[in-house]
Chains A and B, each alone.
Chain A
Amino acid sequence: MDTPETKAPDAVLPALHALRCVGAAGTARLHEVTGLDESDLTSELIDLGAAGLVTRFPGNPPCWLLTDAGRAADAEQIAHELDSAGARGAVEVAFGRFLVLNPELLDLCGAWQLRDVGGVVSANDHRDPAYDARILDRFADLDRRLAPVCAELSAALSRFGRYRIRLAGALDRAAAGELEYVTDDLASYHTVWAELHEDLLATLGKQR
């Protein structure tokens, strides 16, 4: 059987690294994050659990968490992957460009959630479609400027390709009227963006 210990050190384990980027998650969510079948993910997670790299957290649905050993193993694997692909420079540059866009994303999320009406800032009740459309338009503009950064990242390491798909999916759903896909849902634009941020930090071994 293919246990984590017997895998080559350069193989980044998808479920392990997904947990590193998204925190606690069940298999349905890990499926969204990685694009892998839930059954394959479950199998990998059970192996990882046996190796002491993840723990199962009972709940409804149950979720999985990295252990300290899992975090260390992931750090080692992604550092190895980054260097053997010769991608460190490209990811560093892309991260720098991401950081320029990051405050703007947070501003936009703030504007989506809060609205200044006559000097009083209140929760945006989403009853003004023109206001919401203006913000979503700015999200789309920001997303267009993020696209080349994502392209550089995917070219450097193919696993970054999922972010483009997930971010575009969130904006599409928001534009179609599913407003929770901007900031509120676990698959929202804000959540996926924050996971990309975390992934970049983890990949480059940086602190926030």
Chain B
Amino acid sequence: MRWIRALSAELDEGADMDALGGKALGLALLHRLGLRVPAGFVVTTEACRAFLRDGCLPDGLRDELAAAVSGLELATGRSFGGPRQPLAVSVRSGAGVSMPGMMSTILNLGLTTGATAGLAAETGDRAFAEDSRQRLLSSLAATTTDDAPVPDDADRQLVLAIEAVFSSWDAPRARTYRAVHDIPHDLGTAAIVQSMVFGNRDAHSGTGVAFSRDPNTGANIPYGEVLFGHQGEDVVSGASATSPLRALADREPAVWTELHGALRRIEGHYRDACYVEFTYQSGELWLLQVRPGRFVGGAAVRLATELVDERVISRHEALRRVSTEHLRHVRTPRIASYEETRVLARGVGACPGVATGRVATTPDRAVRMARDAPVVLVRPETSPHDMHGLATAAGIVTARGGPASHAAVVARAMGKPAVVGAAGLTFDPGTGAVTADGLSLDDGTFVTVDGSSGEVALGRPRIVADPAGDHLNRLLAWADEVSGDHSERSESQRLAAAHAALASRGTAPPTRGANRPWSGTHSKRRRPAGSA
């Protein structure tokens, strides 16, 4: 086939990496590692480029799609859009570069009226089947600009979804994002079509994201979020309140054990921390995406030194993996991880640093209370009305919004620790009172905000000013050994001298892309000259 490749362990053999996109290569890796991945295929970036150039899918693609879908039907023993044992698929963007929130994803494709009835009959759960169909209708409608109804035909739905994913590459917002980040416009995105795994299937289903180690600290403990009984997009979009990953160990011990093993196996391959997206359906774990962990700051330092202790990488490799950029973030204070720390809510860290203060739920109260003692402004989200409260607060928490939200932009402009999108906070619409983790946070309650990890903790937990200190000292001692220079210098000078010494010995200078199967052309093009 010219435009389509089956997802398999052999996917990338002799293939053009650019044509497949990073996500598909990650899925091929999971296959090679023997991990469970939903059957599927990838429509290449070449097809995307042809679509964007000509305004229509290229000749022959529809025939190839029909053949690929037949292959999926054979592999799964199900029938696409069929009334019995219906096959549903997901269509996701598989661009080699990450453009958060800008590329379309469509789940549950193929759930026509007939197929939905078939799914309801098969599972004995009409509510589940209908919920899944509604998600399809709303997500497909959201990607198309006209008001045409979603066709009740599985093959046409699939074509629409692929066109939507390809079109999303050229949305003005995506174009601006690429211009800002110096990503070429002509790469295009692949589209990945996979048989659906339903995280909303039953009480033993769910979805989540996991790092093999804690990306905030580098500690060797799996870290992530899980959402019981939901589909994947709910986690990534932050639309629902999630549980910490460890809740999976209590609720689904078999899934947890398998996930833990998978994370170890992937780490062994990367020789680095990793990140996965997963869904489990009726107790069976499936992996949907994988990439290296991309730890930064103190977490990168701790990870690199501990990988040396574990005899996974050499000291030289550890030095190569920590750039002087990471050192800029090593000394950001953090909430210490202790059993006694009560984390009330988790969101996205929008501006690093730690702030402790009394909760104020309106900007006016924040201004009044701040005359006596530091205040943490806690809001559903912020608008210009919150400006005086934002200006006076020591820390900021919002329940909605991401790292580009109004609150995040203002917090960074003012240099205040901030957590946004802490979906676990609920606000009483009448009184504005806020509840978190079953606790009512009255105005005046002491809380602490960690703008790196995105944690909001009760009271005044212990703060570590230098979370990676011991690890950093060891790493810098290795740096001095390599450079042979033991004079008094700044930390970044010590590290830079080691990098220079390693480079002069003919080994590569530090790179974030080492050992990565898809650190290929995209990232090389993106990286400034001299750093790759």
Contacts and interface: CB of A to CB of B under 8 A. Distances in A.
A147 to B, nearest CB: 14
B413 A135 contact: no
A193 B511 CA distance: 38
Nearest to A199: B384
Contact of A107 (B176, B182, B328, B386): B176
B40 interface: no
A106 B383 contact: no
Interface in A156-208: 183-184, 186, 188, 190-191, 194-195, 197-198, 208
B179 A138 contact: yes
Interface string A140-155: 0110010000000000
A142 B173 CA distance: 10
Interface in B169-226: 172-173, 176-177, 179-182
A22 B388 CA distance: 10
A190 B410 CA distance: 9
A65 interface: yes
Contacts of B512: 118-120
Interface centre among B326, B328, B381, B412 (most CB of A within 10 A): B412
B386 A110 contact: no
Given A65-B364, A104-B176, A134-B179, A117 B409 contact: no
Interface string B401-413: 0011110111011
A116 B531 CA distance: 13
Interface in B409-435: 409-410, 412-414
A57 B101 CA distance: 40
A103 interface: yes
Given A104-B172, A107-B177, A120-B325, A183 B409 contact: yes
A141 B180 CA distance: 12
A65 B388 CA distance: 10
Nearest to A103: B173
A109 interface: yes
Interface residues of B, number: 43
B24 interface: no
B477 interface: no
A127 to B, nearest CB: 13
Interface string A10-36: 000000000001111000000000000
A3 B363 CA distance: 29
Given A107-B176, A120-B297, A183-B413, A23 B363 contact: yes
A77 interface: no
B408 A24 contact: no
Contacts of A42: none
A116 B384 contact: no
A138 B325 contact: no
Contacts of A59: 367
Given A104-B173, A122-B329, A110 B384 contact: no
Given A106-B406, A113-B409, A114-B412, A120 B384 contact: no
A63 interface: yes
Interface residues of A, number: 46
A66 to B, nearest CB: 9
A109 B387 contact: no
Interface string A118-131: 11111100000000
Interface in B478-532: 510-512, 527, 531
Contact of A22 (B367, B381, B387): B387
Contacts of A101: 172
B316 to A, nearest CB: 18
Nearest to B401: A106
B296 A109 contact: no
Contacts of B367: 24, 57, 59
A113 B413 contact: yes
Contacts of A91: none
Contact of B384 (A103, A114, A138, A194): A194
Given A118-B323, A122-B325, A194-B406, A24 B363 contact: yes
Given A113-B413, A119-B294, A195-B384, A134 B531 contact: no
B498 to A, nearest CB: 16
A138 B412 contact: no
A198 B325 contact: no
A120 B413 contact: no
Which of A119, A138, A184: most chain B Cβ within 10 A?
A119
A109 B363 CA distance: 23
A23 B387 contact: yes
A79 B492 CA distance: 59
A108 interface: yes
B2 interface: no
A21 B326 CA distance: 40
A111 interface: yes
B404 A23 contact: no
**Listed residue (A22, A23, A65, A208) with the most chain B CB atoms within 10 angstroms of its CB:** A23
Contacts of A118: 323, 325, 510-512, 527, 531
Interface in B145-172: 172
B384 A63 contact: no
Contacts of B413: 113, 183-184, 188, 190
A111 B403 CA distance: 11
A106 B191 CA distance: 27
B311 interface: no
B297 A135 contact: no
Contacts of B384: 21-23, 191, 194-195, 198
Nearest to B294: A119
Contacts of A22: 384, 387
Contact of A194 (B294, B297, B383): B383
B62 to A, nearest CB: 31
B123 to A, nearest CB: 37
A122 B323 CA distance: 13
A197 B404 CA distance: 15
Given A135-B180, A141-B176, 15 more contacts: A21-B384, A24-B364, A106-B406, A107-B176, A107-B180, A110-B404, A110-B409, A113-B413, A119-B323, A120-B329, A134-B180, A138-B179, A195-B384, A198-B383, A208-B381
Top 5 A-B pairs, shortest CB-CB distance: A119-B512, A23-B385, A106-B404, A120-B325, A24-B388
17 contacts: A23-B386, A24-B364, A106-B405, A108-B176, A110-B408, A113-B409, A118-B531, A119-B512, A122-B325, A145-B172, A183-B409, A184-B413, A184-B414, A190-B410, A191-B384, A197-B383, A198-B383
